[in-house]
Structure 1
């Protein structure tokens, strides 16, 4: 059981699946078989039914096809009806549980998101969405203490999921734009390029954009290749963003789109080659959501800027700054709605964006589709999408540090530091704490030489403290750093 628990990564399974020079292999078809069996019994236990319908798909990772075959054969052996969805995206796999022609009881996506080529993993879905941490523990327990009996009732059917999913997106965009000029081709006359990073998002160029009339010449790295030979498929990666920005400028495109490996995240680039990601992406989709749902709360992770808060509030929205971790952000959005606080958007700076109308599913393709509606409408007026966020205030200075804690009891030690920092700030005449804060210690630094803020928090998965500092004055970050360095010296920590 211990080796399976070591594969737990928050709300999914991840491990090293290929020989490499960095890490030993710990995820093989043996582990995949055990965990698939555990998921199916867990699903049966929750549904109180036996022969269930499960969809299986993978991204472009080199071990994906072998793992997919193992998952399918395991499920068939225990009586499941299995849909082989071939190469797919993580959000599309969830949609197999809600699309009428599929109506699956569960789904398994084989992916390790943006991690290096030698990783792979499993993500699990039910009709309620992606499984939570406690569900993963239960699935692993079923994997070890499995009581399933083999059956001859299993059936396999191949499905063209990406075609079906693309058609859904195309229909949504056409309906929302409702172009009087060209209903079927609302993106005609626009050059919109895609960078799929050799992941599974290349379909978006041909099956969505071109169907809507866009010219996609200049798109890059659309072919699936699990070696990821061009750049890491990650909208947060500096090299990846630089690549799509250069492509937009070179091709004189109207818009650039970049996805991560399994398309649950995205970012865009305006026609001037400016990236719209992180806070800018949150601001852009907030404009769209608040136009449709005025006064909605917008849930984000903890490292968003004060400028973003002011931007959202000027639009009439409420900025609810929560914790890091996309699942934390999404669950907080769901919780607010359950408590009758209207929330239509939960988004992390990483590009995970979950929208209420789309089952609170973090879906990069759906996020981009919402934006494309406004791209089309603005284009008819001769305007650019970037104009929607021209009033977003950017910090003058910004920096992030990761401070290692070289101790076995790093979490307890780190929590002690955060508690001491909070007490220190309470006694300070120079700094103060915000009224609400949900992660780490966020500090307001509003004196003239600081004019900014910092956030010190424990990493979700690693033995380190993450430090974000921003300032709106020259040398403000340096001045804030001086205080933090003096404070951390008491614990023999430095950065």
Structure 2
């Protein structure tokens, strides 16, 4: 039997690995491995909460992946072997699984979502929650080390397995949110009556949003697509950042003449929308829209974003909306933790949002929840309609660069992190020799360079891979070509950097 490389399964604040393969020897999330992960999580959680594992209650849910049922059974077996009870909801969203730890009628000690987000269908993984939120990278490493040691203390019982209908209660939670925040002029029971709102669930677990939320709120949802869960993801990648996926929902909005299109990723912790003209509202536009909504409710507060947001977005948040823009590191967990840190220092930071579509609001436990963000957008759409105003008007002053590019370059070294950091440090010196280039302030990740006007680029290390990532925005092709020429001349000094694709 192949020896398990346990720490290889750590992926940031999640566990991920190969769950399906033609050759069984290639499968990383085997039955035995997953049982040990479940058992380790139960003992880790019991120790953290100072509760005997016999008294723990842990929720389990999954997205539409083909390996979901098998992994659910193995995970439950492992958790129950530690003495804890499991509560299985079946198909669920990641945000709903967290809410099972705080809903009064559930109040579980912990929860696990079986998902690998937008990764290919052969992958799967686990996201873990306590009442404090998602686990950190260090927690995941501790759980995996426990599993690797395989030295568990004995317990005097095997936990029981119960079935629950969490998604019904989670859906009611979102409907109540919408109805509680409507203007008096809006139909309080069916605020979306007269609106055509369609959903693209990407064959993930977000299809519930149509029947359980949009229709009860009065929306015409005819034309919604790919609502059936299918782990083969036969229509397009379940990812709002994917061009094919976004083009699909844009096309559906145009064909059906919808007022709003919604698209979720597989496990519904990310979302994007499309306006009635078929224009995508994602990345900088989604951040701008969310900021407009949040800053109206929290004037002058700080919006925390990741490192690749545009100059135009900064102007929009600070000059148009009167807020403060805190551009931090790439990675949704980094952005969320930074907002929490600011709040602890007395700085109001009600929204942490990444260009990928992860959006976490303080009012919602700083939980990155795509469905919650969409609910906030639906509220705003219904309220604005009483004044004859459309959603797109909220972001019409956002300046957007004409050209947006991302390039990824492999580092062919074992010790790639130190090498990549040296490249970034050297670039800071190189920049001083290029007329018109200057370091942007507050570089929390990599190095960001202003190249004139609203043009900029950012060179950073990938969060998980031996890859340097170059993001660049500008308005003119000639400026793009000139900037890329300078960057390529700089990068050609480094023999370990491969595949410079520009």
Q: TM-score range by the shorter chain?
A: over 0.9
Query: What are structure 1's unaligned runs of at least 5 residues?
Result: none
CA distance in 2, matches of 1:389, 1:129: 31
Decide which moves more: 155-164 or 252-261.
Answer: 155-164
Query: 1:178 Cα deviation (Å)?
Result: 4.2
1:49 equivalent among 48, 51, 71: 51
CA distance in 2, matches of 1:375, 1:230: 29
* Contact 2:186–2:383 (CA under 8 A) maintained in structure 1: no
Q: State yes or no: 1:459 paired with 2:462.
A: yes
Q: In the alignment, which residue of structure 2 is the partner of 1:348?
A: 354
Q: In the alignment, which residue of structure 2 is the partner of 1:478?
A: 481
Query: 1:20 Cα deviation (Å)?
Result: 4.6
Paired residues, what number? 492
* Contact 1:397–1:476 (CA under 8 A) maintained in structure 2: no
1:48-447 mapped onto 2 (5 Å cutoff): 48-50=50-52, 51-145=55-149, 146-152=151-157, 154-314=159-319, 315-446=321-452
Query: 1:398 Cα deviation (Å)?
Result: 2.0
Decide which moves more: 404-413 or 191-200.
Answer: 404-413
Kindly tell me: are residues 487 and 77 of structure 1, through their superposed partners in 2, closer, same or farther at Cα, counting changes over 3 Å? closer
Relative to the length of structure 1, the TM-score reads 0.96
CA distance in 1, matches of 2:147, 2:377: 41
CA distance in 2, matches of 1:456, 1:358: 33
* Contact 2:195–2:219 (CA under 8 A) maintained in structure 1: yes
Query: 1:119 Cα deviation (Å)?
Result: 0.7
* Contact 1:354–1:363 (CA under 8 A) maintained in structure 2: yes
Query: 1:411 Cα deviation (Å)?
Result: 1.8
Query: 1:24 Cα deviation (Å)?
Result: 2.5
Q: State yes or no: 1:35 paired with 2:46.
A: no
CA distance in 2, matches of 1:473, 1:263: 36
Q: State yes or no: 1:11 paired with 2:38.
A: no
CA distance in 2, matches of 1:11, 1:378: 38
Q: Any idea what SS the aligned residue of 2:101 has?
A: coil
* Contact 1:296–1:343 (CA under 8 A) maintained in structure 2: yes
CA distance in 2, matches of 1:115, 1:181: 40
Q: Any idea what SS the aligned residue of 1:211 has?
A: coil
What RMSD over aligned residues (CA atoms) do the two structures have, in Å? 1.6
Runs of 4+ in 1 over 6 A off after TM superposition: none
* Contact 2:61–2:90 (CA under 8 A) maintained in structure 1: yes
Q: Any idea what SS the aligned residue of 2:304 has?
A: strand
